[in-house]
Copies of this chain bind each other. A is one copy, B any other.
Amino acid sequence: MKILVIGGGGFVGFNLVAEMVARGHEVTVLGRRAAPVRPLPPVVTYVQGDLTDRGGLLAQLAGVDAVAHLASSTVPSTGDKDPIADVQVNLVGTLTLLEAMSEVGCKRLLFVSSGGTVYGVPQSIPIEETERLNPICSYGIVKVAIESYLDLYARAAGLSHVTIRASNPYGPHQGNTGVQGVIGTFLQRAQEGRPIEIWGDGSTIRDYIYVSDLCHLCVEAIESPRTGTYNGASGHGTSLMHIVDIVREVTGRQLDVLHRPGRGFDVPTSILGIEKARHDFHWKPRVGLREGVSLTWRWLRAGMVD
């Protein structure tokens, strides 16, 4: 397939593009920067562009079979600082993409949503896709609105979309500056011999998925004719303090912890049910947490930081 990946310069996007190329797809990446932060495979075309630029999107959509949309200008911890910008870039941007896709007749869309924020404080664990959506941060509010609009465009314009609600992906090529995920950040700090900061007491439980497992699911999903919404996760929960223990074990380094006050946008426990994805895509996560942390540490130690 000829696939346009929007946000393909990001952490998950970069890994997804690699997987798509390996599966023989022809990939163009649209990113906001003049050049990709992470060097893309030579067979991939990179185009600088903005999700809110309809003309630019129309030009790139010509002849495209499917779009993978992973772009976001925010992460859960930054969206609340400027909700107007969050809406302007990410919600209006996505609507601009949907309008452009309608205009050129491109129907197939993979959207990577946020399993960690759309549900808010869940009513049951593991969280199934049918759980009530009740986001408590701007990032999640925008993702929920986007998901609603995808259904609206499916009814009104024949959009065929499959949405993957990703939990907490980690692995090679993740940013490690403290905003994009704890595992990359902790490993980086371990390497540097610097302490880490933990918001709250470290009991917060999250569902960490190794990025290649998530990307396998995304490619299965976009290649299939299926539509609808799927959790993309490991199905297991791990506390922050247990992550610290694993990082200490894997790296053999001391890792001092500074505790900071809890953050309003952190829900206490988030573990996603993955039976729907398992069943419909004959998929399952293959890389366990300790193995994934080891692989990420090996990548970091090899100096392959982007």
Listed in ascending order, the chain A residues whose CB lies under 8 Å from chain B are 80, 83-84, 87-88, 91-92, 95-96, 99, 132-138, 141-142, 144-145, 148-149, 151-152, 155-156, 264
Give the chain B neighbours of A155 by CB distance below 8 A: 136, 264
Give the chain B neighbours of A99 by CB distance below 8 A: 84
5 A-B pairs with CB atoms under 8 Å apart are: A80-B156, A84-B92, A136-B155, A144-B145, A156-B264
Closest to A132 in B: B132
* Given A83-B95, A84-B96, A91-B91; A138-B132 close (CB under 8 Å): no
Q: Is the CB of B87 within 8 A of A91?
A: yes
Give the chain B neighbours of A134 by CB distance below 8 A: 148
* Given A84-B99, A96-B84; A145-B156 close (CB under 8 Å): no
Give the chain B neighbours of A133 by CB distance below 8 A: 132-133
User: What 10 pairs across the A-B complex have the smallest Cβ distances?
Assistant: A141-B148, A145-B145, A84-B95, A132-B132, A83-B95, A155-B264, A141-B145, A87-B92, A87-B91, A135-B148
